[in-house]
Amino acid sequence: MGETLLLVGLQWGDEGKGKIIDTLAERFEVVIRFQGGANAGHTVQIGDEKFVLHLVPTGILHPDALCIIGNGVVVDPQALVEEIGALRKRGVKVAENLAVSDRAHVVLPHHKVLDRVADSSRGKDRLGTTGQGIGPCYADKAARCGIRFAELMDPGLFRERLEALLGTYNRILQAVYDTEPLDCDAVYTEYQAYAKELRPFVRDTVPLVHEALAGGKNILLEGAQGSLLDLDFGTYPFVTSSEVIGGAAPGSGIPPARIDRVVGLAKCYCTRVGAGPFPTEQDNEVGRTIRQTIQEHGGREYGATTGRQRRCGWLDGVALRYAARLGGVSAVAVSVLDVLSAFERIKVCTAYRVDGQVLRTFPANARVLQKAEPIYEELEGWQCDISGATGWGDLPAQARDYVRFMEELAGARVEFVSVGPERKQVIERKPDD
């Protein structure tokens, strides 16, 4: 029997999923993206070469893996065509090893325009989206007026659906947002060109997935974003528009009961890009040290999709416990441990104080979280370079204690520790470590 493993980020995204998935992908024959879209930016570093994947599953860097963009993903065909072209230019095989579900929804130009104008019209309450059209595309999907790849591949039907959609949205763009309407002929022609390029990849992925399950293949489900950006459980409304935690089954066609293991990935500190509450944020020297240290170690705390500077702060243990519990994680992976080498003492938030009361659970109301003051525990730092560590025993005692502290908060064993951005810089903890 093969294994189906789900990897999910436990924070606000950018936990280093690309790097860990790349490490794991070696053992998996199939890698599936199941939610989100080109808002994701997953970085893999192989020697001096750096790859950033947005829509294509990270498994593509392993030529024998079958990579599937599942039905739950919202796919911008322009972004996908460009990404495939850029990967091929760098010698990466993108051929029959990539499949795009014909049930995946198509991101259309009005989604991208609406994403930008609607977010900026919120003024000070802006979410700071990536502008990739994610929210409006999922909104059309839920409203049952979206267009799927199966329809994009059928020119007559696509034309019909596009005319109906733009008939409504052009009026909204003009009347509500004072924005230029979109030209239906131009959009049709542009999208039929993408359809031609993507036709070889578009398939009914349900049989593919089920053949893989029946054939005992190992399947890796590649989560995008992070649990605290989940549409239901994240810091609503400062979230993305997909189900990050529970989206794997409906977004891929894998039956829920066939997911064998969930690995939750957490940074050993927190970052967030875009607006929204972030109780442990350190908009000060600590945040600057984090950004500078990761840069010195070959990583980046700047958005891999938008280039925006990421907000940095100490680990939020309340949020970690909440996310790990919701994900039902069977194991935890910890990333960027090398970056904390810069600190003499390290703080971890284990509860919040709100209006004089101690709060140990993650509140639903973003305003409550906004005013939550972290209650910290302090741990001793190790202040030495750990980026060359290859085994658990190579880590200084303080670093192992810090990881064990995270493990207690998450309620599951830490099985992977990443100590640098490079493919090989990861420690796999043995059962008796």
Q: Which residues of the chain form contacts with ligand GDP (CB under 6 A)?
A: 9, 13-19, 41-43, 45, 294, 297, 299-300, 304, 335-336, 338-339, 418-421
Helices marked H in 236-343: 285-296, 317-327
Residues from 253 through 292 that contact ligand IMO (CB under 6 A): 273-274
| 77-89 helix and 184-198 helix, angle to the nearest 10 degrees | 40
CB of 19 to ligand GDP, least distance (A): 4
Choosing from 229, 334, 386, 417, the residue that interacts with ligand IMO (CB under 6 A) is 229
| 155-175 helix and 184-198 helix, angle to the nearest 10 degrees | 140
Residues 231-260, mask of contacts with ligand IMO (x by CB under 6 A): ---------xx-------------------
16 binds, among ligand GDP, Mg ion, ligand IMO, none (CB under 5 to 8 A by kind): ligand GDP
Q: Are strands 270-272 and 315-316 parallel, antiparallel or unpaired?
A: unpaired
Choosing from 59, 70, 72, 135, the residue that interacts with ligand IMO (CB under 6 A) is 135
- Is 42 an annotated catalytic residue? yes
Candidate ranges 122-130, 204-212, 354-362, 363-371; the one touching ligand IMO (CB under 6 A) = 122-130
| 109-120 helix and 134-142 helix, angle to the nearest 10 degrees | 110
Question: Of 42, 105, 111, 297, which residue is the catalytic one?
Answer: 42
**Paired tokens of 23:** 């490490």
First to last CA, the chain: 27
- Is 355 an annotated catalytic residue? no
Which one, 20 or 372, has the nearer CB to ligand GDP? 20
Report helix, strand or coil for 163: helix
Q: Judged by CB under 6 A, how many residues of this single chain contact ligand IMO?
A: 24
Candidate ranges 38-46, 186-194, 332-340, 366-374; the one touching ligand IMO (CB under 6 A) = 38-46
129 binds, among ligand IMO, ligand GDP, Mg ion, none (CB under 5 to 8 A by kind): ligand IMO
Angstrom distance (rounded) from CA 168 to CA 54: 30
Strand partners, 422: 45
Residues lying near Mg ion in the complex (CB under 5 A): 14, 41, 304
Nearest to 256 by CA among 214, 221, 224: 221
Which one, 58 or 235, has the nearer CB to ligand GDP? 58
Amino acid 3 reads E
Which one, 273 or 389, has the nearer CB to ligand IMO? 273
**Paired tokens of 19:** 């790097």
294 binds, among ligand IMO, Mg ion, ligand GDP, none (CB under 5 to 8 A by kind): ligand GDP
CB of 43 to Mg ion, least distance (A): 7
- Which element (helix H / strand E) includes 45? strand 42-46
Which one, 14 or 83, has the nearer CB to Mg ion? 14
Angstrom distance (rounded) from CA 425 to CA 390: 7
88-93, Cβ contacts within 8 angstroms, sequence gap of 24 or more: 90/49, 90/51, 92/51, 92/60, 92/61, 92/63, 93/60, 93/63
Which one, 12 or 343, has the nearer CB to ligand IMO? 12
Angstrom distance (rounded) from CA 131 to CA 197: 24
**Paired tokens of 22:** 């790349």
- Which element (helix H / strand E) includes 316? strand 315-316
97 touches 63 (CB < 8 A)? yes
Choosing from 31, 32, 40, 75, the residue that interacts with ligand IMO (CB under 6 A) is 40
CB of 418 to ligand IMO, least distance (A): 15
Choosing from 32, 209, 224, 290, the residue that interacts with ligand IMO (CB under 6 A) is 224
Angstrom distance (rounded) from CA 361 to CA 227: 15
CB of 219 to Mg ion, least distance (A): 22
Which one, 304 or 326, has the nearer CB to Mg ion? 304
Nearest to 187 by CA among 89, 78, 268: 78
Which one, 274 or 277, has the nearer CB to ligand IMO? 274
CB of 50 to ligand GDP, least distance (A): 7
19 binds, among ligand GDP, ligand IMO, Mg ion, none (CB under 5 to 8 A by kind): ligand GDP
**Paired tokens of 116:** 């930008």
**Residues in contact with ligand IMO by the rule CB under 6 A:** 9, 12-14, 39-42, 127-130, 132, 134-135, 224-226, 229, 240-241, 273-274, 304
Catalytic positions, please?
A: 14, 42
